[in-house]
Structure formats: structure tokens, C-alpha cells
Amino acid sequence: MSPHHGPLTDGIPARKPAQIVLTDTKDTTCAVITFPEADDQRAGAPPTVMIDCGNSRGAQETTEKMRATVRRALAGRTRIDHVFLTHPDSSHCNALLPVTRGLEIGQVSCGGDLRQYAGLQGGAELHRWLVGNNARTFPPSFRGLSAPVISFAGMQLYVLAANSTGNTGSSDTDANGSVLLLVYGSLRVVFLGDVPGSVAAGLQAEVFPADVADGPTGHPLAPQGQLLVLGHPSADGAYGWPWGPEGNHRYTLLREHTPSASEDGPATGHASAAMLLEGPSAERTSAAEVEDKDRFTFASVDSWTAGPQPSPPLGLSG
């Protein structure tokens, strides 16, 4: 089965679109990914993936908005094939049960220790659900660059790191969080969760030799095309390796990671940060070439489509 679709343009295959939808308030943390359709219909329906599902305020109204966004992202599907909870933090998982109620759930994977989820506010029910769904955790100091956990129609999802403290039950649940990487053609999306910059630095030391800043050719982390970073990283985590060696990238901030006041309560620091890094090489292609390469296009601030789009240069639209 070929992962490519359509003609070759400038040596890069045109690809079918994939979609990433984020819940659309700064108080929430949830991403739904729909993989592209395969060329061969015998491959079946493209998988759907959810990364985190939490609400920092715990408000029912916000949870209902999340539920509506997830249903819209699923576009009539009634199954989520894989759920990833990056780490045991209420604002990353406390809306999972009400948001996914009525949906069929496939594999569930969690950062940290399952028992830590039971200790969260309202976590007893979540823990029972995780155990009942045979949720799996990752071993200490896990690195998953050697093989994707999901691969379909040319798109791959990797777990870059999990349980980086070396102790799955460590109280440092941020550092033990899972870091996920989505790869599609020349596009990269990194889901950081709440991991500190030290985790990214540790990955750098383990994966890339010090004298090869961009990594080996063909490596999943080797910068190509565009890189979208989603999560709540510290400044060094957001702008350090491997997202962008200084001087070689242009950053466009799509959603600020800053506290924002709301009508019904005080400011929250759990803003959803999303940054598009454009131009991962010091060499820039022409505008005409850019139009033919893989890219992310933006239907709204909370929705991205990955695939070839013969449209004006990148930016927010609509």
C-alpha cells in the first residue's frame, strides 16, 4: 500500500489531508487527530487519536463545549482508536469520562503510574475506567524513536519520551509526561504536555550527536518542512532543541501561553500554547516552491489541516 496520493510536485508527493482539532478554549487541553485516508480502501477507515482531555476549571459548561468539539472532530465516527494521557494532571485528564461517554475506545496509554491518576480530584472513577480499559503505561526512561506506535497512510505517531525521571511513580509528573511526535510528509507536530525544557535537552543528548545539530537524514526528528509545537512548555522547552536551533527558524505564535481572565473566574495559567515554526533550514525556498510543498493550513485557531494546499503563504485565516 502506497502512503502517497496524487502526482509528485517538486519531488514531494501530494498527500491526502489529515486533521488536528484542539478544544477551543484556553482552559482546556485536548487534541483529536484524524489520520488521512489510505489509497487502498481495503486498509479500512483512518484511525482517530485523542491526546489528553482535561479542563483546568472543571466547569460543566466548558466540558460540554469540549464534548461538542470532539464530536465535531470525529465527524460522525463513534470510535477513538487510541487515547494518550500525557501525565496524571487533572487539567489534562479530568474531562475524559464525560467527553468520551458513549464512544467506543480502543487502546489507552498513560504517562506516569496508573495509581497516580486515582489520587487526582475525582480520580477514583477515572482510575477504575483506566484499569477497566486495560490502560498501559510506559517503562522508566522510555524512548520510542525507533518505531511509531501508529502508522497509517503515510502518517506516523511516535512517543518520543515518557517517564523521563527513570521512576514511573515519581512525584515529578510533569517530567514523567509523554512527549508525542506526529510526522506527515515534511510536517511535524510535537505534543509536549507540561514537560520541562530539561526533558527536551535530555532527548537531544541521547538522540543526536553533538556535532550534528539537525540529526541524521531521514530521522523522525530531523527538521523538515514545518513544525507545530503544542503544549505548555517552559521558554527553554519551547525554543530549544529540537524545535529550533537559534537563527534557523521563524516563529509564529498562534495561541499565547499566558494567563487570561474569564468572565466567570480569575485568570488561569493553563493556556494552550501553539507555535508554528517555519523555515527549519537557513536555506529558504521560493514562494512558488512553498506553495507546492506539504504544509499546514488553518481553518481556524483551533483546527489544522495537514496536506498540500495551493493557496497563499502560511498564516491564520477565517
Matching residue, cell 494552550: 272
Structural contact between residues 277 and 228, judged by C-beta atoms closer than 8 angstroms: yes
Measure the CA–CA gap between 201 and 220, rounded to whole angstroms: 17
Cβ-based neighbours of 132, under 8 Å, separated by 6 or more: none
* Beta bridge pairs of residue 50: 32, 83
What pLDDT score was predicted for residue 121? 84
Rounded to two decimals, the pTM is: 0.80
The CATH number assigned to the domain with range 15-308 reads 3.60.15
What pLDDT score was predicted for residue 58? 82
User: Coil, strand or helix: which one is 147?
Assistant: coil
Q: In the chain, what are the domain boundaries?
A: 15-308
CA dist 218 → 2, 141, 227, 240 (Å): 18, 24, 15, 21
- Consecutive 10-residue runs of the chain (318 residues): their mean pLDDT? 31 67 79 91 94 88 92 95 96 95 98 96 94 97 91 92 94 93 82 80 62 55 66 53 48 49 47 52 43 54 56 32
Measure the CA–CA gap between 49 and 34, rounded to whole angstroms: 7
CA dist 107 → 25, 47, 155 (Å): 27, 11, 18
| One-letter amino acid of 205 | A
Which DSSP category does 42 fall into? Answer: G
What pLDDT score was predicted for residue 93? 95
Strand positions, DSSP E, the chain: 8-9, 12-13, 18-22, 28-34, 48-55, 79-85, 104-110, 136-137, 150-152, 155-161, 179-184, 187-193, 226-231, 250-255, 260-262, 265-268, 273-278, 294-300, 303-308
What pLDDT score was predicted for residue 269? 46
- Of the candidates 179, 174, 122, the one whose C-alpha atom is nearest the C-alpha of residue 149 is 179
